[in-house]
Homo-oligomer: A and B are copies of this chain.
Amino acid sequence: MSVQATAIKPGSARKSPPPKPYHHGDLRREILCAARTLLEENNIASLSLRAVAKKVGVSHTAPYRHFKDKESLLAGVAAIGFAEIGSQIARAVEMHPGDPAAQLQEAGQRYVQLVMDNPQCVQLMFGGILPCDDTYPDLRAAGDLAFERLKMIIEEGQSSAVFKQDDVELLAMTAWSCIHGLSVLFIHGSLDIAASTTLEIHTFTKAVTATLLNGIGTG
């Protein structure tokens, strides 16, 4: 039943069976994955490095071979989160070529869904636990990329005169604020909406996005 079926590539059997360093193929990825899971299962305050190590089946000091410290591991998880936001925006763009208003609408829906699915990760990404500066370049880069994708939607909208000719950063920031704020208030349960269905959340998001589009639109 082992996955280690060790299919021997003919002709390559000369030197060594694949390195298999001690226990794991790539412990780094496994640690990140386990951390992500444990993070969402509880909350950020109660995520422990030792628990992550145990889940992976490795001694509690092993993660230190791959991450400088706990914060560095958290930064890795957060970077994955930003990468996913970037991917979702890219997908939204693909779905509605030539229609920036629809792209923004779609991206908003996907953003909210992502936050609802990974609330604790979002908390980690935006919560002020991780430093904002360039301590973790990968984290910074992933965040910047997501924001660039959003700005491209805005720029396309300005080119086709659907969005007003304002500062791009300003409009992008406005859009992100609106959707991000909405998502955060959702997971916080500020309204009784927390208990409501996904459908209602989508309806709500659509309404908010409409208002946003109304605000940044031309005329």
Which residue numbers of A lie inside 8 Å of B, CB to CB? 43-45, 119-120, 123, 126-129, 132-133, 143, 147, 166, 169-171, 173-174, 176-182, 184-185, 187-191, 194, 204, 207-208, 211-216
Contact = CB atoms under 8 A, between A and B. Distances in A.
Contacts of A177: 177-182, 184-185, 208
B191 A126 contact: no
Is chain A's interface secondary structure helix, strand, loop, or mixed overall?
A: helix
Counting chain B CB atoms within 10 Å of each CB, the highest count among A119, A204, A211, A212 belongs to A211
A42 to B, nearest CB: 10
A89 to B, nearest CB: 14
B204 A170 contact: yes
A1 to B, nearest CB: 38
A126 B184 contact: yes
Q: Which 6 A-B pairs have the closest CB atoms?
A: A181-B181, A215-B215, A132-B189, A177-B181, A177-B182, A180-B181
Contacts of A45: 44-45, 129
Nearest to A194: B132
Contacts of A170: 204, 207-208
Contacts of A208: 170, 173-174, 177
A127 B187 CA distance: 9
Given A170-B204, A173-B185, A208-B173, A129 B44 contact: yes
A203 to B, nearest CB: 10
A189 to B, nearest CB: 3
22 contacts: A44-B127, A45-B129, A123-B129, A133-B189, A143-B190, A173-B182, A173-B185, A173-B190, A173-B191, A174-B207, A174-B208, A177-B178, A177-B182, A177-B208, A178-B212, A180-B184, A180-B185, A181-B181, A181-B182, A181-B184, A211-B212, A212-B215
